[in-house]
Structure 1
């Protein structure tokens, strides 16, 4: 009887990897064309926020999200070294057990000071920040209204929380209001938006959208991962820049962009926010960040409070690169530079990969972004500028794009 049962199970067993077959085939086709794997690049040595050794050659980095160039800041590095000496390499525990050290409280205090808010909660990654906050505050019977182009971590947070998910067309205020109007009166409502959308580098009309959300009694969460440190008079993001930060209930951010290390956070003025430390599963059941990481993050955040000159230079870089690429004949994701992200639209994946490789041979690294992660099934070469890029490097980059684009036949 046991043998018969085993045979039957073997015969009907499905390959759990079969759902990935189209992606496997696409990758095999791409590599068979002779293109280097654009998703497997190894950096042998990183020399600065803007230069690394890749495949044995010096390469300008234009795809790292290191917006403010804090990864090699001497004060930041020294803080990390000191924390290693004083506290060791890790906490080996959750924040609610043995995983809260002095550095964890210090970085949360720095975040409160940076944003001028009452509460801050630090997660081990930015992904976990969205996963934890969204899934905890919006559950069964509640409604989440969100932009269709929201980041994967936002969608995953919605799925984990089991709320009713109501997407609307990207940056469409009228479409958002229509969705809110249909939600039953008295139901819990959360509107989730992003300051800067990472694929095209475009910003949201937050001021108008938040006003609509409040009109219908919804709470608002804004993910400022790609704007924190750079956009706004004090680097607090698009909500600050549009003068509506006071109307945001929760701001989500990450340490892996402008802050220059790893981790995620949520800041809020909600009077009951501290209970999240006991009910938010991705916070309670995850080991806390190592002492060296929170020390570097804390030092970086405090320095970003007085980084007006760096922000101004980054805006200058963004405007120069956007104009240079557009004048060269490339199609870009935005008509004007809106952030530190400039996306160059490729005709298809094959030519996008060829262009990526041609740029690498020129000595330039960018991100190749492909469907389904991209909006409207676009293939993009995504450039993320850094405040440490010199004006000369930006001009070099424009020349590299022009030469590679001509060689591949994009322009």
Structure 2
């Protein structure tokens, strides 16, 4: 008798609990927080969502460069002169004049000898982590590191060591336990994206150097906002000379898409030949690198914007705290303000109440946050007016009382 082939396992079955949880949430009548569509974007701070003009408080457009006239003009000019795309990788036909100009703008902005542009910030971390440290080396990273850092570690073959979030003492301890052989790479972030807290980079860099480690700082959420020149937290901390690599993205303060690594290491350029996420993917379209280069040059002279962004951050932080909301950071540490809530139900209802009031924020839940942590993440923009910040505080007050999140 012929044996019957057993049915193939459903590869989606592992997601059934999440599917059921999401459906139960939607069955209560709330909107899906992860399926919002911007019908029209009016400015860095305003969009039309489901037919209603809404203040944007959930984007990473920190410096408001997306509608800058010079940035837009540069993109249009490149589109006319070079077409819509490169149809090739950087190491083949995908390096245009604009890609080199963008790297020159980065070198001028950071004061470094080398700059390498990737197609996304995610790929920049993926490439650096997977390429730099080999099987006999160690990557030591903060437990709250971004997914792109973890994925870069998984793609490579280095030994991974985690230390407690923002703990200088634990970093020192972990480094001290490593064997004498093998290289070591300490990976830090200037601003951590979920809670908006900043790393004690001065102390951490000193510890890493004491143990002979090389240092990467991801400044995705610090570029444009921190330091005299807007380079990031590492500049503000005064450790520029001791940091070996800075990773960043164009999708936050620069206002477009793409990623980069800058460095002064004399052997840096070899990464263009050995870094798989750089070699084996199409390069950014000419219009994108043109907008990025123009934006980066303008950010070199954006002191007034930075000052206004700090003013917005401090005002919103104090306003929400005074209303009785639980804020993740004791003071306004960055342009990100995380409002902590007790459970998913209250978080979703508060999120929807805010949207109905006319302000969009990000909802975050596990696994994007630590287990049991639910929050609404507010990301301020240098283009938010003082009047808009006042409206945001009023809308938080109304939504918080309507949902019982505040008294």
| TM-score relative to the length of structure 2 | 0.99
Contact residue 147 and residue 169 of structure 1 kept, 8 A: yes
Counterpart CA distance in 1 for 2:252 and 2:323 is 29
- The answer on 1:78 being equivalent to 2:86 is no
Contact persistence 1:66–1:386 (CA under 8 A): yes
| CA deviations over 1:350-391 (Å, ceiling 9, x no partner) | 110111000000000000011011134311100000000000
Instruction: Specify which of 375, 400, 404 is matched with residue 395 of structure 2.
Output: 400
Unaligned runs of 5+ in 2: none
Distance, in Å, in 2 between the alignment partners of 1:252 and 1:281 is: 16
- Structure 2 residue corresponding to 1:239, chosen from 234, 245, 257: 234
Q: Paired residue for 2:267? A: 272
Post-superposition Cα deviations, 1:94-141, rounded to whole Å, max 9, x if no partner, equal 000000000000000000000000100000000000000110001212
- For residue 28 of structure 1, what is the aligned residue in structure 2? 23
State the alpha-carbon separation in 2 of the partners of residues 69 and 34 from structure 1: 34
**Cα-to-partner distance string for 1:307-327 (whole Å, 9 max, x where unaligned):** 000000000000000000000
User: Is residue 195 of structure 2 the alignment partner of residue 195 of structure 1?
Assistant: no
Distance in 1 of aligned mates of 2:21 and 2:265: 47
Q: CA deviation at 1:14?
A: 1.4
Q: What is the rounded CA distance, in whole Å, between the counterparts of 1:400 and 1:292 in structure 2?
A: 38
Q: C-alpha distance in 2, partners of 1:377/1:69?
A: 33
Instruction: Give 1:7-406 correspondences, 5 Å limit.
Output: 7-8=4-5, 10-11=6-7, 13-406=8-401
Q: What SS does the aligned partner of 2:317 have?
A: helix
Consecutive unaligned residues of structure 1, counting only runs of 5 or more, are none
Contact 1:369–1:382 (8 Å) recurs in 2: yes
- Post-superposition Cα deviations, 1:295-341, rounded to whole Å, max 9, x if no partner, equal 00000000000000000000000000000000000000100000000
* Number of aligned residues: 406
Equivalent pair of 1:254/1:262 in contact (CA under 8 Å):
yes
CA contact (8 A) 1:224 1:237 kept: yes
Q: Distance in 2 between matches of 1:55 and 1:141?
A: 53
2:343–2:372 Cα contact (<8 Å) kept: no
In the alignment, the residues of structure 1 paired with residue 23 and residue 227 of structure 2 have an alpha-carbon distance, to the nearest angstrom, of: 44
Partner Cα distance (1:259, 1:174) in 2? 34
Contact persistence 1:199–1:375 (CA under 8 A): no
**Aligned Cα root-mean-square deviation (Å):** 0.9
SS at match of 1:236: coil
* 1:380 partner SS: strand
- In structure 1, distance between residues paired with 2:24 and 2:239: 48
Q: State the alpha-carbon separation in 2 of the partners of residues 70 and 346 from structure 1.
A: 31
SS in 1 for 2:160: strand
Alpha-carbon distance in 1 for matches of 2:288, 2:359? 28
